[in-house]
Amino acid sequence: MSIVSNHQQRLHKLRQELHRAQTITPGLMAEVIARACLRFQSHRGTVKARVIRLIESGAFADAALALLELELPQWRLRRLIREDDEWHCSISKQLGLPAELDEMVEANHESLPLAILSAFVEARRHSLTVGEGRPKSVPEVRPTQGYAICCDNFA
């Protein structure tokens, strides 16, 4: 089993845990950071401190949006609505495209921060899936022997 598919399974389990959760807690936020935020520890101390302050103050929705901005900067919040006692969160890479053409990630939950975190975890899974088919490095180009010739017609 590859590392990517193993990580995807862990993210899928995390999303299921978020869906089953009734309320958000600082412990659950720490679990999301530990399991889904690959670059969080590499950020500057002030950036991490901002997220930690938001969590400690109980601003979980703001902390979830800050995590989205830090970890997946190419993804943006597209839609956040409350309908039938449930929050629906959509995040997208291409805000300018119509929703029908966009590859957006959607999640819903009774709790606003849990809806945002669920969409964040699903976007992380989606980025791993898309990145799996890409080459892992730039192919090496060997220098050629001989002379380089310009074939442009400057007349």
The helix/strand count (H/E) of the chain reads as: 5, 3
**Quick one: which of 147, 78, 140, 134 has its CA closest to 106?**
78
Cα four-point dihedral sign 136, 142, 143, 148: negative
What are the pLDDT digits (tens) for 52-105? 999 999 999 999 999 999 999 889 999 999 999 999 999 998 888 887 777 889
What are the pLDDT digits (tens) for 3-42? 667 778 888 898 889 989 999 999 999 999 988 888 888 7
**Quick one: which of 32, 43, 35 has its CA closest to 7?**
35
Of 41-45, 64-68, 107-111, the poorest mean pLDDT is in: 41-45
Distance CA(54)–CA(60), nearest Å, equals: 7
Quick one: pLDDT at residue 132? 46
